[in-house]
């Protein structure tokens, strides 16, 4: 079964759960420098470091023999505009790779999470972020009925 694994810029962990059983014969990674994420007001040096870290992660995964679809803001070789959103980058890669499943780690940004979930449709498999002690669902169960935490 072919799987496309979405890696966001704040999920650059080579030991992430979503990559734990990566099969180079059937899996691919997609990463996107989205226009939407680059345009909010932020320090230019922060943005440069953010994208540099993404590109370093991409290069390291390719050196391991993993297939990586990477959409850069300044990529003129592709002769197409950079994706406006991370979801658009995911869909471009999915069109080329034609995966059976699209895996995403739960994102820290609800807006991105919803866009990826909607775009992936019934092919979506969400993997919990293993950097946290609990999941949002488990915490909601814990907090249910409590006035104070």
Measure CA of the first residue to CA of the last residue in the chain; give whole Å: 43
Structure tokens, 138: 């488990």
Q: Do the beta carbons of residue 24 and residue 66 sit within 8 Å?
A: yes
What's the pLDDT at 102? Answer: 98
Spatial CA neighbour of 2 closest among 23, 26, 20: 26
Digit-coded pLDDT (tens) for 72-99: 988 755 567 788 899 999 999 999 999 9
Digit-coded pLDDT (tens) for 92-132: 999 999 999 999 999 888 899 999 999 999 999 999 888 78
What's the pLDDT at 47? Answer: 87
- pLDDT averaged over every residue in the chain: 90
DSSP calls for 22-61: --TTTEEEEEE--HHHHSSS--HHHHHHHHHHHHHHHHHH
User: Exposure string (b/e) for 101-113, b if CB count within 10 Å is 16 or more?
Assistant: ebbbbbbeeeebb
CA 82 – CA 68 distance, rounded (Å): 16
**What residues contact 94, with CB distance under 8 A and at least 6 apart?**
4, 30, 102, 120, 123
What's the pLDDT at 79? Answer: 60
Q: Report how far apart, in Å, the C-alpha atoms of 85 and of each of 60, 74, 81, 108 are.
A: 24, 15, 11, 15
Per-domain boundaries in the chain: 3-143
38 pLDDT above the threshold of 90: no
What's the pLDDT at 78? Answer: 58
**How deeply is 34 buried, as exposed, middle or buried, from its count of CB atoms within 10 A (0-12, 13-18, 19+)?**
buried
The topology under which CATH files domain 3-143 is Rossmann fold (3.40.50)
């Amino acid at each position: 079964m072919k799987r496309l694994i979405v890696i966001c810029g704040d999920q650059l962990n080579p030991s992430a759960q979503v990559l734990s059983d990566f099969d180079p014969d059937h899996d691919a990674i997609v990463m996107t420098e989205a226009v939407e994420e680059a345009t909010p007001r932020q320090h230019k040096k922060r943005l440069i470091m953010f994208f540099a870290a993404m590109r370093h992660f991409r290069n390291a995964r390719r050196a391991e023999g993993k297939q990586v679809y990477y959409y850069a803001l300044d990529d003129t070789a592709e002769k197409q505009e950079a994706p406006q959103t991370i979801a658009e980058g995911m869909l471009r890669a999915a069109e080329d790779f034609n995966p059976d499943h699209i895996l995403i780690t739960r994102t820290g940004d609800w807006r991105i999470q919803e866009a990826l979930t909607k775009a992936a449709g019934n092919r979506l498999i969400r993997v919990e972020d293993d950097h946290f002690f609990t999941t949002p669902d488990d915490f909601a169960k814990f907090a249910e009925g409590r006035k104070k935490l």
